[in-house]
Amino acid sequence: MTSRPVLANTREELAGLLADARRSGARVAFVPTMGALHDGHASLMRTAREATSGPVVVSIFVNPMQFAPTEDLDRYPRTLDADLEVCAAEGVDVVFAPSVEEMYPGGFSHDSVHDGVTVAPGTLATILDGESRPGHFDGVLTVVAKLFGLVRPDVAVFGQKDYQQLALIRRMVRDLCMGIEVVGSETVREPDGLALSSRNRYLDAGQRQTAVALSRALRAAQERAPYGVPAARWAAMSILKQAATAGLELDYLALTSPDLGEAPETGEGRILVAARVGTTRLIDNMAITFDRITPDATAGTASAASTTSEGSG
Amino acid sequence: MTSRPVLANTREELAGLLADARRSGARVAFVPTMGALHDGHASLMRTAREATSGPVVVSIFVNPMQFAPTEDLDRYPRTLDADLEVCAAEGVDVVFAPSVEEMYPGGFSHDSVHDGVTVAPGTLATILDGESRPGHFDGVLTVVAKLFGLVRPDVAVFGQKDYQQLALIRRMVRDLCMGIEVVGSETVREPDGLALSSRNRYLDAGQRQTAVALSRALRAAQERAPYGVPAARWAAMSILKQAATAGLELDYLALTSPDLGEAPETGEGRILVAARVGTTRLIDNMAITFDRITPDATAGTASAASTTSEGSG
């Protein structure tokens, strides 16, 4: 299981490696990544490995189209040798690590990419991370469509940590009839709750302490969710406000339905957070189940408190 | 060869019909149409039939997304029974004729379609027909991407008559790495030169006479092309201006490179025309080879005439 995967750097090499599998009708499972692989990615690979007896393909490509010119494209970690070890340990068969030129023939530029054909992500890309990072999801969906075209997977595995991305990929597969099974895999966390992310390595020791406020805020909201949406929001906000004194800069805290619409008064929902710690932008999210339990005779007070917290988000 | 093709109205029926072919590794050839099939379509089907010993699939779908609300969606001809006869005669195996609801689950509306994920065609869709029909190529590429996802063809055949559409589909296949061979098939014409089109049946006898000016103008340009771009344009414009007195309303006459860029001074190019005859919009185009022969000592005069025609287009 720890034999090294075969590395393909070009589309032709990839096509050659997958041709036999295609002819045999084997199911192809695919995990697109930007490299800098950690235990969260390893978990995606295990999910992919369990989904097929055919080939598991991992792509490693830091996609310039999904980074704004002001973002961390240049300093985004590149750790190919270590990444190949992670893939080997998880029984991955093929690693596709193309150059920018290979994925964007003629080279990539933000100015010219929309001269060509791209994927338009629609309104779901205008909220949350899409509001903070205009064009980000155009870049994500366009490169994932390209990768899907090259790999032609039967099943593709994405992390729930990038929840809005996962929702948009599901939407793309549905709206463009791509016929690919999309699996959303549980977020892997550090023992203290911090969601694993390739960007965590940017954090110094103090920032690392501060960053745990994201998952703590989400957990606090989960605990208060039986008392309704405002109570859940208030619980999360009080932790995030505390962390603000240690340098956490909140981008958004959002309570939504599972498909990122308006939060239901009762039932299943999602809570999502994005914040900057130093210059590092972190995101996290969890499932949440809302209810409308009126705590006790002081319900009026609780409601007033909730309304205040609604306004402060 | 004239056994009737199998008709699929749903995605599930289509997937079922193609499953065996996929497993056997047979090449699937695909001809997307809007129905109202004529000899031009039959020619596309023959090209597809020659491209594979596996299944030939024809789709018949009048795609609302590529019609503006003011356009002829409602009166666009629907002739399914006759269409199936055409497909049968050309040895087509599967006809996919989905409902709007099947292709746009939840129904189609121009207001909501961009809420979801669509294909963004880029700058090539902003000129020529794209300038006259804003949003048209968003609709074309989005529905073709959907159909490609459902049919998963190895080769797809399109008519050169819709030359800009063909260029955009080639670009989509390249930019989104769809891995489909796109074949552009020669335009089929009436004996007098009029390009076959499902919209020709809108024309009354007088309009039919006027409409032949499009192909005559293109042929005249071809003949004058050895004398350069302005001379070719002048030849076409003089015929189109004559036809204007009979009610032809020119939309554009464009002389371009083969990929719809600027026309080269010498070498291969394309000439394209769009005009309205009555309420019917017609398009046509031809290959053209430019040169820079100076006719004789009266070159000065010819050049002046050419400059005039440039300004009048």
pLDDT tens column, A249-285: 999 999 999 999 999 999 999 999 999 999 999 999 9
pLDDT band of residue A295 (cuts 50, 70, 90) is low
Residues of chain B with pLDDT under 70: 1-2, 295-313
pLDDT band of residue A301 (cuts 50, 70, 90) is very low
Cα–Cα distance measured from residue B4 to residue B6, given in angstroms and rounded to the nearest whole number: 7
pLDDT band of residue A243 (cuts 50, 70, 90) is very high
Share in percent of chain A as helix, strand, coil (round to 5): 45, 20, 35
Partner residue facing A122 (CB), from B23, B114, B177: B114
A207 annotated as ligand-binding: no
- A112's tokens: 């010219």
What is the DSSP code string of B1-20?
Answer: --SPPEEE-SHHHHHHHHHH
**What local confidence, expressed as pLDDT, does residue B22 receive?**
85
Handedness of CA B148, B269, B133, B72 (dihedral sign): negative
- What is the ipTM for the molecules in this complex? 0.92
In angstroms, the separation between the Cα of residue B75 and the nearest Cα of chain A is 27
Percent of chain A with pLDDT over 90: 89
Cβ-defined contact of B122 to A142 (cutoff 8 Å): no
**Is A156 in contact with A148 (CB distance < 8 Å)?**
yes
- Candidates A272, A303, A300, A299; CA nearest to A288 is A272
Confidence check: pLDDT of A195 > 80 = yes
Residue A149 with chain B: CB contacts under 8 Å:
176-179
**Is B52 in contact with B29 (CB distance < 8 Å)?**
yes
Percent of chain A with pLDDT over 70: 93
CB pairs under 8 A between A and B: 94
Query: Mean pLDDT of all residues in chain A?
Result: 93
Edge to edge, what strands does the sheet with A248-256 contain?
A: A248-256, A267-277, A280-290
Type of residue numbered B119: V
Ordered structural domains, chain B, with CATH: 6-185 (3.40.50.620), 198-308 (3.30.1300.10)
Mutation target to probe the A interface, by most A beta carbons within 10 A, among B117, B123, B152 is: B117
Confidence check: pLDDT of A309 > 50 = no
**What local confidence, expressed as pLDDT, does residue A296 receive?**
59
**Is B40 in contact with B197 (CB distance < 8 Å)?**
yes
A41 belongs to the catalytic site: yes
